[in-house]
Every structure is written in structure tokens, then in C-alpha cells.
Amino acid sequence: MSKKQKLVELEDAVIRFSGDSGDGMQLTGTLFSDTAAVDGNDLATFPDYPAEIRAPQNTIAGVSGFQVRMGKSKIYSIGDFCDVLVAMNPASLKSNLKWAKPGATIIVDADSFDQKAIEKAGYITNPLDDTSLQKYNLIAAPITSLTRDSVKNKDVDNKTAVRSKNMFVLGILYYLFNKKLDNTLKFFNVKFKNKPVIAEINKIVLKTGYNYAETAELFKSTFIVPPANLLKGKYRNISGNIATAWGLLAASERSGRPLFLGSYPITPATEILIEMARHKSLGAKVFQAEDEIAGICSAIGASYTGSLAVTTTSGPGLSLKSEAIGLAVITELPLVIVNVQRGGPSTGLPTKSEQADLYQALFGRNGECPLIVIAANSPADCFYFAYMAAKYSMEHMTPVILLTDGNLGNGSELMRVPEVSELPPINPPLARPNDKDYKPYLRDERLVRKWALPGTEGLRHRIGGLEKENIKGNVSSDPVNHQVMTDLRAAKVQKVADYIPLLEIMGEQEGDLLVVSWGSTYGVIMSAVKEMQKQGKSVSHAHFSYIMPLPKNTGDVFSKFKKIIVCELNSGQFVNYLRMRHPEKQYLQFNKVQCLPFQIEELTAKFKEVMEVIS
């Protein structure tokens, strides 16, 4: 055992990896997270990368980041500021320093701070030499040259050798946080199974980085984040997009309805399509369509034949699907539409995240066109909400829009691995062969029509986009019938409120301030409310995952609080929807449209400000 510096135990730690797009920061961050997860830490991750695949080298535009927070207790958000910042070049230091806590450890590749790169980043003088980093613990190591030297006896060219410098940094980080290298070494064996030389290079560089941190005594103290006290069970790390794909696959298996996915690649939703395409062994039929419209239309066709039909997209794609969603609404076919929201309008900020597609999900279609809208809370939760979206869609014969976003889709956290058998059952309302009473639009007590699958004897029928005669389903332009059908479609979706969970209050059941949120802001707002509660403030939190219809007790919950503040990453779409649905209440709002998550600090400051008015 080597001599260790002072060992400091931390509740949690936030590490931010940043570098040029080609520096492999996403992989480095992922490997670090995996190791922390295996060590039993709870964690959350958040990649922050540019839309360009390789922006010009050493420019601010080309900086790619990855933040991970690990802790010894439940982690609800990725953390506002980091304890350790890795900056592989001047541009990444320049653009990420604002995320570092005062006194944070900053690890830079000193080799990359040449005059040209410094100027390109917009620095006037070398920040490593002037006093600008005085309030931080700066570790400026010649990472590129040490990497090159560590493998100089190996048969590799300079470029290949230098490419593994991210593993040198990872080695330093493992030393700093007293993590074992095993998990990452194992990863190299699998990843480079057919390239043993590359595997060896990476292993050497990782170990050299670790040893360098130790022998050069880079740190006065090292840290340990003890394992989290999580519920007993099996755990894995999972991103929101993967969790979404898996939740849908689980719903397919549990319902016995084969999965059909019709999608067109679009950032940041593509990963769901990619993931699903890998699972043909589960019977998933994945159709990469010629455009967004064909994606949803093929899904509607598949739904008519009895598949759990899904289309996945992001904001602009949802716009293109609008007309077809109307077809699914009027034909009353099950369909799950996953919208991984990104910054808009138009192409907007494709790789960044916001919650600004809520209006589009609720209202973005011609005619009276109601459907279920559900929003996932966290990366791992995407599994559960995708599952529930499929369940409600099939059981209530209606399209469902599942809203996630870039932060959820790309972010990851620990998931307690469920068993499919413990998930709620799914019972699609299939029509029986030769059912003499079958009529396409005959409804049960939940106002749900039957799903009659082509190929079944005695159920031949036609449906389509023209208004349908109540019960019989023939084409009808009768004015009274149109009113009846419009009301029935709305009532059917509203009736889903009888089946969704009631709204829960985190904290006191009544009080001064109720903080309301929906979707991916769950974790950070929960953390901010807890912070307020710790300070003895009368603040509670109500988080909405079910948006259309709203939980039945929404009005009751709201009536227990003096003030309500609705926080969301848009200009106030949910708060306006609440104003429409529950006009009896007054609502305050807190909004941010910067394609950045909320910070705990800004939330608590806002809560304090509105509470001062109360007291």
C-alpha cells in the first residue's frame, strides 16, 4: 500500500469533465460514473455537448462536457457547481470555470496551453501563469507528454498514443477519489477485444495517470464518498433514452402485444431508435422511416393490426406528426409518441434541453383533439413512465404523448432493476372473434372502444379520419353526432384520471408555499425545497407527472397553501394550463429559457423572495 495523503470523507462530489469534442470526455465521464456506481454511490450524470460533431479544434464552440455527481445518499440533481473540474484545453477551462465552486480542484493538461490555443480560447494571458486561478486548487500536469512517454516503448504512432490522454486524467481522478481501476480495465478488455494493442495502451495510460497522481503528490488530500444507503436490490446505471426503450419493451412483453417502432433519426431522441433496433430478439420491429410523418403513420398502421405502436421524436418532429396524431385520436387507436424535448423553436438548440413543447403536446393539432400527456421525472423513471404510457394507451385506446427531454434522455442515474412480473398488468381491450355485438365505436364503462385486429374472424370493419357515427363507426357528417363524438373523445381521456395516481405532497400537507413542477425538473426542485425545509420554512413540493388529465386531487392540494409557485424551463406553459384548469387559484411562476437546468441556489433565492411577501 502506498502512503496516502489525508483522507477526507465527502457526502457527495461533483466532477465536471471538459475538453475538445474529440478529447473523449463523454467516455471518460461515463467510465468514472460506472465505477462510482459499482462502488455503491448513488449518482446522476449530465452530458453537455455541442451540436457539431467536430467543431474547430480548441474553440469554445467545440467544448464538450460531462458532469457527474456521486453521493452517499440519494442524489436528486446533478449539482449546481463542481468540486473538481477537468479542462483538457484552454477553451474548456474558459467556458467551464463558471461551474467550479470556489476552492475547487482544477486539473488541466498544461501541454495544451500553448500561445495559439490560449488566444483561440479568448484569453489574453496564460491563465495558468497569471493570478486568475488563485482561488482554486490548480493542478497543471503535462498530460499529453506524460501520456506519450508512458507508451513510447509500444508499437504505436504518436496520434494513437496521445488519443488515450483522457485515460491518464481518469487515472488521476481514480486516485483522487480512491476508486479502483478494475471496472475500467475490464471495460478495455471488452471494448477492444479485437484490438489488444489499443487495450494495452489504454490500460498503461490509465495506470500511469493513477501512479503519477500518487508519486508526484498532486493532492494534499484525497477524497472518499462512501457507498449510499440504497434500498436492497439489484442496481444498474441507465440513461433516460435507454430506460424509455426498455420500458416500452417491458410493456410489450407484459401486454403480449408485439412492439412496433416507426421513427426518423432526430437529436436527442435517436438513441431510443438505436437501442430498440438492437433488440430484435425480443420481437421488436423497428422501422426507420423516410421522414417523421412516415414514422408515425407506419406506427398507426401497426397499431391497427394490434401492435404496441410507438414513434419517437423531438420537438420539430412532433410538429410534423401533428396531423397523424389527429388520425390516431379520431380512430381511437393506441399509440405512444415519445417527445424528447430540445431547445426550440424550429431547429433551435438541438443538443440542449428545455420544457417548451408542453403547449404543442396539449394543443398542437387541428380540431378538438384530446390525448393523454405524461412527463417523466428522471432518467431511470423514463422506464416506468414509458411503461405506463404504453399501458394507458392500450387500455384506454388513445394516443399518449410521453414528454422527456435532452437532460433526461442523455442524463443517467442508478436504477433499481425491477422484475417485469412486478410491473402493473396491462390488459388491452381486444375484441373476441365472431363477437355478434361488435361495433367499431361501441364503448365500455370507461368509454373505451374495442381493439379488433385484422385477421380475426367476424370483425371486419373500416375506420378512418372522417368523423365517425357513434357506435357503428360509419362515416357521418351529422352535426349532433359530431358533438356527441367530440364529447365522448374528451370524456374518455378525462376518465383516465380515475386510473392515474393522486398528486402527492412532499413535506407538510398544508402551509405557506407550494412549489409546483413537472417533468425533468423534479430532482433539482425537490432538492431546493428540501433545502428550504431544512431552514424551517413552510414550503412543500408537488410534482406533476400526469399532465393530461391532471390528478383528481389537484384542486384540493392547491387549496391547502397560501401561495403556489410553478417552476418550469419555459415561459410559463404549465402554469397557464393550470390557470385554465383551476382558475380559482392564483399562481406565481418562475421560468428560465436558457437551455440550462435550474440551479438550487436560484430556486431557493426565488422561494425566499416570494415568502418574504407572505410574512
Partner 1 sequence: MINTTVERSRVPLTKEDFVSDQMVKWCPGCGAHAILASVANVFPKIGYRKENFMFVSGIGCSSRFPYYVNTYGIHGIHGRAAAIASGVKIANPHLSVWVITGDGDSMAIGGNHFIHVIRRNIDMNIMLFNNQIYGLTKGQYSPTTPMGSITKTSPQGTIEHPFNAGELVLGAQGTFFARVADTNPKLMTEVMFEAAKHDGTSVVEILENCVIYADKSHEVVTSKELRDDHQLILKNGDPMIFGKERNKGIRLTREGLEVVTLGKDGITEHDLLVHDQYSQDPGIHLMLAKMYPPAFPVALGVIRSAMYPTYDDLVEAQITYARENEKIKCVDDLLNSGEVWEI
Q: Which residue ranges make up the site for partner 1 (CB under 8 A)?
A: 34, 37-38, 40, 183, 227, 230-237, 246, 249-250, 253, 258, 260, 262, 279-283, 285, 287, 289-291, 293-294, 297-307, 309, 323-324, 326-327, 331, 417-420, 454-466, 474-475
Residues 210 and 204: their CA atoms lie apart, in Å, by 10
| CB closer to partner 1 out of 235 and 544 | 235
**Torsion region of 283: left, alpha or beta (phi above 0 gives left; psi -120 to 50 gives alpha):** left
Report in angstroms how near the CB of residue 217 gets to partner 1 at its nearest: 33
| CB closer to partner 1 out of 418 and 572 | 418
Report in angstroms how near the CB of residue 383 gets to partner 1 at its nearest: 9
| CB closer to partner 1 out of 162 and 261 | 261
Report in angstroms how near the CB of residue 324 gets to partner 1 at its nearest: 6
Element (H, E) at 310: strand 308-313
| CB closer to partner 1 out of 236 and 585 | 236
| CB closer to partner 1 out of 120 and 257 | 257
Residues 144 and 275: their CA atoms lie apart, in Å, by 35
| CB closer to partner 1 out of 231 and 613 | 231
| CB closer to partner 1 out of 420 and 614 | 420
Report in angstroms how near the CB of residue 335 gets to partner 1 at its nearest: 11
| CB closer to partner 1 out of 108 and 386 | 386
Half-sphere exposure (CA, 13 Å, Cβ side) for 195?
12
DSSP 231: P
Residues 585 and 578: their CA atoms lie apart, in Å, by 9
Contact in structure between 440 and 397 (CB atoms under 8 Å): no
Report in angstroms how near the CB of residue 465 gets to partner 1 at its nearest: 5
Report in angstroms how near the CB of residue 305 gets to partner 1 at its nearest: 4
Report in angstroms how near the CB of residue 41 gets to partner 1 at its nearest: 11
Considering all CA atoms of the chain, what is the largest pairwise distance in Å, rounded to the nearest integer?
86
Contact in structure between 142 and 165 (CB atoms under 8 Å): no
Cell numbers standing for residue 142: 503535462
Element (H, E) at 285: strand 285-288
| CB closer to partner 1 out of 459 and 493 | 459
| Rg of the chain (C-alpha set) | 27
List phi, psi (to 5°) of 86. -100, 125
List phi, psi (to 5°) of 336. -105, 120
| CB closer to partner 1 out of 19 and 326 | 326
Q: Please, is 460 exposed, middle or buried when counting C-beta atoms within 10 Å of its C-beta (0-12, 13-18, 19+)?
A: exposed
Report the DSSP pairing between strands 12-20 and 259-263: unpaired
Closest CA to 89 of 56, 67, 134: 56
Report in angstroms how near the CB of residue 280 gets to partner 1 at its nearest: 4
Half-sphere exposure (CA, 13 Å, Cβ side) for 363?
8
Q: CA–CA distance from 285 to each of 172, 211, 275, 555, 567 (Å)?
A: 44, 49, 12, 42, 39
Contact in structure between 13 and 36 (CB atoms under 8 Å): no
Report in angstroms how near the CB of residue 350 gets to partner 1 at its nearest: 22
Report in angstroms how near the CB of residue 271 gets to partner 1 at its nearest: 15
